[in-house]
Amino acid sequence: MECRQIGYLFLGFAVFVSVMYWSSPSHIHSELRAQYIKKNRPNFVFILTDDQDVVLDGMLPMANVRKLIAKEGLTLSNSFVASPLCCPSRSSILTGQYVHNHMAINNSLSGQCSGTRWQMGPEKRTFATHLHNYGYETFFAGKYLNQYGHEKVGGVKHVPPGWDWWFGLKGNSRYYNYTLSVNGMAEEHGTDPDKDYLTKVISERALEFLHKSSFEKPFFMMLSVPSAHAPFTPEPKYSGNFSSLRAPRTENFNIKAGEGKHWLMRQGVQPLPDDVVNKVDDVFRNRLRTLLTVDDMVKDVVEYLEVVDELKNTYLIFTSDNGYHLGQFSQPLDKREPYETDIRVPFTIRGPNIPSGMVNTFPTTNIDLAPTILDLAGIRIPKYMDGVSLKSEITKTKSTGVHVVLNSISLSEEELLKREYQIPGYPQRVMRMRVEAILCAEKTCVLFGELESSAFIAKLLITNQCYRTRLFMMAIFIDLRFHHCGVRAKA
> Catalytic amino acids?
86
Kindly provide the b/e burial profile for residues 409-420, where b requires at least 16 CB atoms within 10 angstroms of the residue's own CB.
eebebeebeeee
Specify whether the CB–CB gap between 71 and 357 falls below 8 A: yes
Helix 274-307 with 198-212: angle, nearest 10 deg: 10
Kindly provide the b/e burial profile for residues 293-309, where b requires at least 16 CB atoms within 10 angstroms of the residue's own CB.
bbbbbbebbbeebeeee
Q: Using alpha carbons only, give the angle 294, 129, 364 rounded to the nearest 5 degrees.
A: 55
The Cα–Cα gap between 407 and 170 comes to 47
Q: Which letter does DSSP use for residue 261 in this model?
A: S
Count the neighbouring beta carbons within 10 Å of the beta carbon of residue 19: 10
Specify whether the CB–CB gap between 219 and 293 falls below 8 A: no
Name the helix (H) or strand (E) containing 473: helix 468-479
Contacts of 182 (CB under 8 A, 6+ apart): 166, 167
The Cα–Cα gap between 184 and 326 comes to 37
Specify whether the CB–CB gap between 458 and 434 falls below 8 A: no
The Cα–Cα gap between 176 and 197 comes to 6
Specify whether the CB–CB gap between 320 and 48 falls below 8 A: yes
Q: Which letter does DSSP use for residue 241 in this model?
A: T
- Give φ, ψ of 46 to 5 degrees: -110, 110
Task: Classify residue 151 as exposed, middle or buried by CB count within 10 Å of its CB (0-12, 13-18, 19+).
Answer: exposed
Nearest to 472 by CA among 9, 17, 98: 98
Specify whether the CB–CB gap between 285 and 242 falls below 8 A: yes
The Cα–Cα gap between 484 and 436 comes to 11
The Cα–Cα gap between 34 and 38 comes to 6
Task: Classify residue 435 as exposed, middle or buried by CB count within 10 Å of its CB (0-12, 13-18, 19+).
Answer: buried
